[in-house]
Structure 1
Amino acid sequence: MSENRSGSFIVGLLLGAAAGTITGILVAPRPGRETRKLLKKSADALPELAEDLSTSVQIQADR
Protein backbone atom coordinates (compact mmCIF):
# COMPACT_ATOMS: atom_id res chain seq x y z
CA MET A 1 0.00 0.00 0.00
CA SER A 2 2.77 2.44 0.90
CA GLU A 3 4.60 1.66 -2.35
CA ASN A 4 1.46 2.46 -4.34
CA ARG A 5 1.18 5.80 -2.57
CA SER A 6 4.79 6.70 -3.33
CA GLY A 7 4.24 5.85 -7.00
CA SER A 8 1.14 8.02 -7.06
CA PHE A 9 3.05 10.80 -5.35
CA ILE A 10 5.80 10.69 -7.98
CA VAL A 11 3.26 10.77 -10.80
CA GLY A 12 1.44 13.69 -9.18
CA LEU A 13 4.69 15.51 -8.57
CA LEU A 14 5.78 15.20 -12.19
CA LEU A 15 2.38 16.20 -13.56
CA GLY A 16 2.22 19.17 -11.20
CA ALA A 17 5.70 20.27 -12.22
CA ALA A 18 4.77 20.05 -15.90
CA ALA A 19 1.54 22.02 -15.36
CA GLY A 20 3.38 24.67 -13.36
CA THR A 21 6.05 25.01 -16.01
CA ILE A 22 3.50 25.44 -18.79
CA THR A 23 1.51 27.97 -16.76
CA GLY A 24 4.67 29.91 -15.96
CA ILE A 25 5.67 30.02 -19.60
CA LEU A 26 2.25 31.23 -20.71
CA VAL A 27 1.93 34.04 -18.16
CA ALA A 28 5.55 35.24 -18.30
CA PRO A 29 6.05 38.71 -19.78
CA ARG A 30 7.80 37.74 -23.03
CA PRO A 31 7.19 38.50 -26.66
CA GLY A 32 5.06 35.95 -28.51
CA ARG A 33 7.96 34.66 -30.59
CA GLU A 34 10.04 33.81 -27.49
CA THR A 35 7.05 32.18 -25.82
CA ARG A 36 6.42 30.01 -28.88
CA LYS A 37 10.09 28.96 -28.91
CA LEU A 38 9.88 27.95 -25.26
CA LEU A 39 6.64 26.05 -25.83
CA LYS A 40 8.18 24.19 -28.77
CA LYS A 41 11.23 23.32 -26.71
CA SER A 42 9.00 22.07 -23.89
CA ALA A 43 6.83 20.10 -26.30
CA ASP A 44 9.93 18.48 -27.80
CA ALA A 45 10.94 17.34 -24.30
CA LEU A 46 7.54 15.76 -23.54
CA PRO A 47 8.23 12.33 -25.07
CA GLU A 48 11.32 11.93 -22.89
CA LEU A 49 9.37 13.10 -19.83
CA ALA A 50 6.58 10.64 -20.63
CA GLU A 51 9.10 7.82 -20.99
CA ASP A 52 10.71 8.69 -17.66
CA LEU A 53 7.29 8.83 -16.02
CA SER A 54 6.34 5.48 -17.53
CA THR A 55 9.57 3.91 -16.30
CA SER A 56 9.02 5.30 -12.79
CA VAL A 57 5.47 3.96 -12.69
CA GLN A 58 6.62 0.57 -13.97
CA ILE A 59 9.34 0.36 -11.32
CA GLN A 60 6.85 1.26 -8.60
CA ALA A 61 4.35 -1.29 -9.93
CA ASP A 62 6.96 -4.05 -9.95
CA ARG A 63 7.77 -3.53 -6.27
Structure 2
Amino acid sequence: MGVSFVAVLTALAVVAMIALPAAVQAQPSAPAPAPTSDGTSIDQGIAYVLMLVALAHTYLIHAADLCFTF
Protein backbone atom coordinates (compact mmCIF):
# COMPACT_ATOMS: atom_id res chain seq x y z
CA MET A 1 0.00 0.00 0.00
CA GLY A 2 2.24 2.70 1.19
CA VAL A 3 4.82 3.57 3.73
CA SER A 4 3.55 3.11 7.23
CA PHE A 5 3.55 5.85 9.82
CA VAL A 6 5.88 3.82 12.05
CA ALA A 7 8.46 3.50 9.26
CA VAL A 8 8.45 7.24 8.60
CA LEU A 9 8.70 8.01 12.32
CA THR A 10 11.58 5.55 12.69
CA ALA A 11 13.42 7.07 9.73
CA LEU A 12 13.04 10.57 11.17
CA ALA A 13 14.27 9.36 14.57
CA VAL A 14 17.36 7.79 12.99
CA VAL A 15 18.14 10.96 11.03
CA ALA A 16 17.71 13.06 14.18
CA MET A 17 20.01 10.78 16.17
CA ILE A 18 22.69 11.09 13.50
CA ALA A 19 22.37 14.84 12.89
CA LEU A 20 21.89 16.25 16.39
CA PRO A 21 25.21 15.14 17.97
CA ALA A 22 27.09 16.68 15.04
CA ALA A 23 25.20 19.94 15.50
CA VAL A 24 25.85 20.02 19.24
CA GLN A 25 29.61 19.53 18.84
CA ALA A 26 29.96 22.10 16.09
CA GLN A 27 32.42 24.93 16.56
CA PRO A 28 30.99 28.30 17.58
CA SER A 29 30.70 30.86 14.86
CA ALA A 30 33.61 33.23 14.37
CA PRO A 31 33.28 36.79 15.65
CA ALA A 32 32.40 39.47 13.16
CA PRO A 33 35.37 41.18 11.48
CA ALA A 34 36.36 44.63 12.60
CA PRO A 35 35.01 47.53 10.52
CA THR A 36 37.33 48.47 7.68
CA SER A 37 36.88 52.21 8.01
CA ASP A 38 36.39 54.39 11.00
CA GLY A 39 34.88 57.85 11.06
CA THR A 40 38.18 59.64 10.43
CA SER A 41 38.48 58.51 6.81
CA ILE A 42 34.92 59.64 6.10
CA ASP A 43 35.59 62.99 7.78
CA GLN A 44 38.75 63.42 5.74
CA GLY A 45 36.86 62.74 2.51
CA ILE A 46 34.22 65.33 3.42
CA ALA A 47 36.98 67.84 4.25
CA TYR A 48 38.62 67.31 0.84
CA VAL A 49 35.31 67.86 -0.95
CA LEU A 50 34.64 71.05 1.02
CA MET A 51 38.14 72.36 0.25
CA LEU A 52 37.61 71.74 -3.47
CA VAL A 53 34.26 73.55 -3.33
CA ALA A 54 35.92 76.50 -1.56
CA LEU A 55 38.72 76.56 -4.14
CA ALA A 56 36.26 76.55 -7.04
CA HIS A 57 34.15 79.23 -5.35
CA THR A 58 37.23 81.44 -4.82
CA TYR A 59 38.32 80.95 -8.42
CA LEU A 60 34.87 81.94 -9.73
CA ILE A 61 34.74 85.07 -7.55
CA HIS A 62 38.20 86.22 -8.68
CA ALA A 63 37.39 85.46 -12.32
CA ALA A 64 34.26 87.61 -12.01
CA ASP A 65 36.31 90.44 -10.43
CA LEU A 66 38.68 90.45 -13.41
CA CYS A 67 35.79 90.91 -15.83
CA PHE A 68 34.50 94.04 -14.07
CA THR A 69 37.74 95.99 -13.51
CA PHE A 70 37.55 99.59 -14.75
**Smaller-chain TM-score bracket:** 0.3 to 0.5
- TM-score normalised over the length of structure 1: 0.44
- The structure number with the bigger radius of gyration is 2
More helix by share: 1
Higher RCO, 1 vs 2 (CA within 8 Å, ≥6 residues apart): 1
- TM-score normalised over the length of structure 2: 0.39
